[in-house]
Structures are given as C-alpha cells and as structure tokens.
C-alpha cells in the first residue's frame, strides 16, 4: 500500500469541493490529431498574440497547440456519460468562440476582459446564463477552463471554473439538444489557440465498501486513544454503518471502529475526510491519518492510497471534543468514479456556514493591513498592505521589502481569517485568483545592471504613505541613502506602477521566461500576464539563479504596466 498524505486545503463541502479535490482522478490527454477538424486549422509549438492587435499572431513549428481562425470547427469524440473536461485556450483581440457541450448547450469563450456589464456575452456564459464573475484574461494570454457536468434527463453543469475562479455552479440546462458523445469547438471570429486538453468520463460506481464493522464507544477525555481508560467503555457491538452518532448526548467521547475496507479491484483511491475534532486512521497496520485535528468541515483532509484488490483491515478513531459539534464523513473516489460517501448521511450534518467577511471598495480605494501567506513559504508576510479599487483591480505589497506580492481582479478581500472567531491565522485572501510574484524586493542599489540582486532587504525601510483623492496610496521607502516613492493604480483594466527616485534599479519582474511580443511589450511566464514599458526605454533582461529578470534604471521616474 502506497500512502500519499496531503495537508488541509480549503474547499466547499458541497459540489465544487468534492469534484475538484479528488486527487486520485487521472484524465485522458487529447492531442491535436484527436480532433476531427474542418476549416482553417494548423498546429504550432508556441503562439504569441497581442492584447490590442487582432491580426498579430506569431507561431513556431510544432504539434502541441491547435490554432484556428473564424469559421473553423473541431469535434472531439469523448463517449457517453458524465463528463469532466479541461483545457487551456488563447484568444486574439476581439475573438469569439464557442465550446459546444455533449448535450448541445453552448459555453461562450469570448474576449471580454474589459466588459463592464456581467451579461450572457461574457466569457464563461452558458446559453443565456451569465457567469458569476468576469474571470476573463486579456487577449494573447493563456486561460484555463475546467467543467464538470452530469448528463441525466436534464443536463446539469455541476461546476465550471475559468482561470481557477468558479463562474457557474449547479446550473440546470434542460434536455440535450443533440446526440451524446462529442464536444465541439467553433471559432466565430478572430483566432483561437487550444492546448492541454483532457477529459474524463465519471461513473456512479462504488468500488470500495466497508465490511465486518464493529465499534467501541468511550466517554471522557484522553489526549490519545492509547490513553483511554477501559473503565469508560459505554458500548461495544457490531454494526453495518459508519457514523459518529453512537456518542450522541456525550460532550466528550471516542468512537473506535474496526473492520475491513473491501476493494473490488486494485487501484489508487482518494479518501476525503470531513469531521470536527480528532481523527486517526490505520489501514493494513500503517498509519494514514496521524491524529489529525479539524475545526471546520469546509477544510477537508485528503489521503490518496494505493490499495490491492481484496480486503484491508482498518482502524478508525474519532474523538469528539466538548467545544465542537459532532460531525464525521468519509468520501471515496477513484479513476473515473464520482465521489461517494462511506458514512450515513446523518453522521455529517450540514455545517454552520462560515460568514465571508469581505471588504468591498465603494467610491474610493480601500486599504487593509494584514498577514499574507505566500505559497512555498513557511512564515507569513507580517507587514502587508492590500489595496482594493472600485475599478475591480487590486494588489498587495510587502512594506518590509518593498515588494509587490500579488495582483488580481474581481472581488477584493476575504478577511474572514482575520476576524472570524479567534481571528487566526490573520490572513487576507483575494476574493478571486491572484497572480503572485517571487516576493523579493523590487528595487535595490546596484553597482551596475550586471550586479547580483541582494537577498536581503536590510537597506530598505518603509517610511509611510500618502493618499490621493481616490484613496490610492503613494508609498515612501528609504533605499540606502535615498528616498523613493511607489504608486500602483488601476488604468484601463490593468495596473500602472510609477516609481520615483534618483538612483538604483527597479526589478519589474522575475519569471521563468520573458518573451518579447514587440518593443516595450513582454509576455511573462508563458503568457501568464504582460509587462508593458515605454518602448523608448531599453531594459536589461538577464538570467540569475535560473530565473529571468527585467531591470529598469531608476534615475528619475520609472513607469510600467501589468496587464492580465
């Protein structure tokens, strides 16, 4: 048995959480040759487009990307059944395309990144149903879409994500309008590129069951199961169900289950545990969950296990504590199998909703001081300032390092972790998917443009900020012996950063790759976002520690824009 333990990850208890947290699921990859194509299609290894120029399309030879223009159609035969589909796509400026689902219903893929109205013309709309938010990126950037749908008498979109943002959920579309079995791409205008297409058919099967169940119920408190006093045994008997309800009425109790996990066939299975209190789990004598503590049902614990065919002895210990209500649920999924419960429904009551404490900029910009946790870092950024604007373009700064940490569009700030109950872990979380940076200092005093960028930010100190009439801060730093100012403000759907100083260098971006689109315009990290500067300025693009950096000399005013 191979065990892979994954830490807690926030997701919803309902539809979306179960669908997109299934770590055992593998999808069937699709190549350009798998499509049945009509019209103007070609393949490419790389594609470069322009955010404003519709006819600007450059390619390199290869087969990884499928590229088509207006009127082109491509059909993918996926077979019948409930479908999960994902792909990456790129649109030229003003382009419009449609993804026709197996039921005949149409998902719109349009250049709507600057759309001011949230209507059925916005990218992510299905038929006449507008998306929950405009999550579209600028033309020429790679975008991702992931959809899961159930095909019964009435087709249902269970979840649709655009660029990692939930834009449709539990949407009933009605009866199918075409025979099942295929997905179709139709390009109505402009140019569209498609890559990383994959799909999966999901079945309502139950390849794993619990058998030979028995349980023991103990009252009272113990730090660990081995410390339970045998005198506190309340009940011991065989059962056919998994539930925490044996301890109903007790403020503090242990339920210890023993039995068999019966796997119909060998494979990798994903177990999704949802509970309040403590949970321990051993399978085949090996520990799977080591005394895991969980406070919220919305934060599941997921373990991926490789099980051989046959029966596997298990021991599950659930500890209900006095300060939490009882709740225990175990869901399982496998390759091509929808998640299903091993517990009875009454064992996992609907959770009390955690209120979303959101900050919304109305009229002028809003600022929030908080902690921010960057991916891959063990410690929090403790001196962060996040700025939200009524234009729906937002960002976070590390004031200790003079670093732009992240930027995003849509809703501004989820401050629930700052204020709900005990207010731990004091984190601000963007309301929609953010583009994050390396988090290093963005300016430094260098001998020349070839000098290594300093690891330390000791020469940078935050001095304060002033606000303009719109509430946008201009931050002042002391860098070495000089003062410099930093203002980041929304402009035409993007962010414009203006830095003023007398010496040193600005590191506008650190990335895996920086691609020149045209003079003054650069695509960052395989077209994740754009960096735009005055084409008269000649930047230094260099490689340091395996990453590319774009440096600008700071001898007066430096201005650049982030477009996504």
Span 281-296, average pLDDT: 85
Q: Is 225 helix (H, G, I), strand (E, B) or coil?
A: helix
**Residue 366 has what pLDDT?**
98
**Residue 19 has what pLDDT?**
52
Q: Is 64 left (phi over 0), alpha (psi -120 to 50) or beta?
A: alpha
More confidently predicted of 506 and 420: 506
> What is the residue whose two structure tokens read 């669908």?
19
* pLDDT band at residue 15 under the 50/70/90 scheme: very low
Query: Residue 298 pLDDT > 90, yes or no?
Result: no
* pLDDT band at residue 2 under the 50/70/90 scheme: very low
Query: Residue 443 pLDDT > 70, yes or no?
Result: yes
* pLDDT band at residue 18 under the 50/70/90 scheme: low
The pLDDT tens digits of the residues spanning 60-77 come to: 999 999 999 999 999 999
Closest CA to 524 of 506, 499, 507: 507
Which residues, 6 or more positions from 368, have their beta carbon under 8 angstroms from its beta carbon? 359, 385, 386, 388, 413, 415, 428
For residues 103 and 151, the answer to whether their CB atoms sit within 8 Å is yes
The topology under which CATH files domain 31-202 is Jelly Rolls (2.60.120)
For residues 263 and 278, the answer to whether their CB atoms sit within 8 Å is no
Query: Residue 138 pLDDT > 70, yes or no?
Result: yes
Query: Residue 469 pLDDT > 80, yes or no?
Result: yes
Query: Residue 498 pLDDT > 50, yes or no?
Result: yes
Query: What is the Cα Rg of the chain in Å?
Result: 27
The pLDDT tens digits of the residues spanning 379-397 come to: 999 999 999 999 999 999 9
* pLDDT band at residue 11 under the 50/70/90 scheme: very low
* pLDDT band at residue 25 under the 50/70/90 scheme: low
Rounded to the nearest integer, the mean pLDDT of the chain is 92
Which residues, 6 or more positions from 369, have their beta carbon under 8 angstroms from its beta carbon? 383, 384, 385, 386
The pLDDT tens digits of the residues spanning 301-359 come to: 899 999 999 999 999 999 998 888 899 999 999 988 989 999 999 999 987 777 889 99
CATH class of 205-347: mainly beta
The pLDDT tens digits of the residues spanning 225-252 come to: 889 999 999 999 999 999 999 999 999 9
| Of the listed ranges 129-133, 148-152, 275-279, 512-516, the one predicted with least confidence | 148-152
For residues 99 and 107, the answer to whether their CB atoms sit within 8 Å is yes
Query: Residue 44 pLDDT > 70, yes or no?
Result: yes
> How far apart are the C-alpha atoms of 57 and 541, rounded to whole Å?
23
User: What pTM did the predictor assign?
Assistant: 0.86
Span 179-189, average pLDDT: 91
């Amino acid at each position: 048995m191979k065990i892979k333990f994954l830490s807690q990850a926030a997701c919803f208890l309902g539809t979306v959480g179960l669908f997109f947290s299934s770590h055992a699921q593998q999808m069937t990859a699709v190549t350009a040759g798998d499509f049945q194509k009509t019209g103007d299609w070609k393949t490419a290894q790389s594609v470069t487009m322009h955010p404003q120029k519709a006819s600007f399309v450059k390619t390199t030879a290869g087969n990884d990307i499928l590229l088509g223009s207006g009127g082109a159609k491509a059909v993918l035969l996926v077979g019948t059944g409930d479908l999960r589909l994902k792909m990456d796509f790129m649109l030229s400026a003003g382009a419009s395309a449609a993804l026709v689902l197996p039921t005949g219903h149409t998902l719109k893929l349009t250049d709507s990144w600057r759309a001011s109205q949230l209507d059925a013309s916005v990218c992510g709309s299905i038929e006449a149903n507008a998306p929950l938010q405009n999550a579209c990126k600028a033309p020429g950037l790679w975008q991702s879409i992931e959809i899961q749908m159930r095909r019964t008498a009435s087709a249902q979109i269970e979840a649709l994500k655009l660029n990692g943002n939930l834009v449709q959920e539990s949407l009933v579309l009605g009866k199918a309008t075409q025979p099942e079995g295929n997905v179709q791409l139709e390009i109505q205008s402009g140019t569209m590129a498609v890559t990383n297409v994959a799909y999966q058919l999901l079945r309502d099967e139950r390849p794993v069951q619990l058998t030979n169940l028995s349980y023991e119920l103990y009252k009272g408190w113990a730090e660990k199961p081995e410390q339970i006093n045998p005198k506190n045994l309340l009940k011991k008997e065989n059962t056919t169900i998994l539930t925490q309800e044996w301890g109903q009425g007790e403020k503090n109790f242990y339920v210890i289950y023993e039995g068999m996990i019966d796997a119909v066939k060998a494979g990798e299975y994903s177990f999704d545990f949802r509970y309040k209190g403590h949970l321990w789990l051993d399978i085949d004598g090996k520990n799977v969950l080591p005394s895991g503590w969980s406070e919220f049902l919305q934060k599941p614990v997921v373990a991926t296990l490789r099980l051989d065919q046959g029966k596997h002895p298990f021991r599950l210990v659930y500890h209900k504590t006095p300060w939490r209500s009882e709740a225990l649920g175990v869901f399982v999924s496998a390759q091509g199998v929808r998640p299903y419960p091993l517990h009875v429904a009454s064992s996992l009551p609907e959770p009390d909703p955690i209120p979303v404490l959101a900050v919304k900029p109305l009229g002028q910009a809003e600022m929030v001081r908080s902690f921010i946790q960057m991916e891959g870092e063990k410690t929090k950024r403790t001196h962060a300032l996040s700025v939200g604007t009524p234009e729906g373009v937002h960002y976070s700064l590390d004031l200790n390092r003079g670093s732009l940490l992240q930027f995003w569009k849509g809703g501004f700030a989820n401050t629930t972790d700052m204020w709900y109950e005990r207010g731990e872990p004091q984190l601000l979380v963007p309301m929609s998917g953010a583009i994050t940076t390396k988090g290093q200092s963005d300016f430094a005093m260098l001998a020349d443009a070839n000098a290594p960028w300093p690891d330390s930010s000791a020469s940078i100190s935050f001095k304060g900020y002033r606000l303009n009439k719109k509430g946008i801060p201009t931050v002042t730093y002391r860098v070495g012996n000089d003062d410099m100012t930093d203002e980041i403000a929304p402009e035409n759907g993007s962010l414009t950063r203006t830095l003023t100083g007398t010496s040193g260098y600005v590191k506008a971006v650190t990335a895996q790759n920086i691609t020149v689109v045209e003079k003054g315009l650069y695509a960052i990290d395989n077209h994740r976002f754009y960096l735009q500067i005055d084409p008269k300025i000649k930047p230094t693009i260099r490689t340091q520690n395996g990453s590319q950096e774009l440096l600008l000399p700071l001898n007066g005013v430096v201005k650049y824009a982030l477009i996504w």
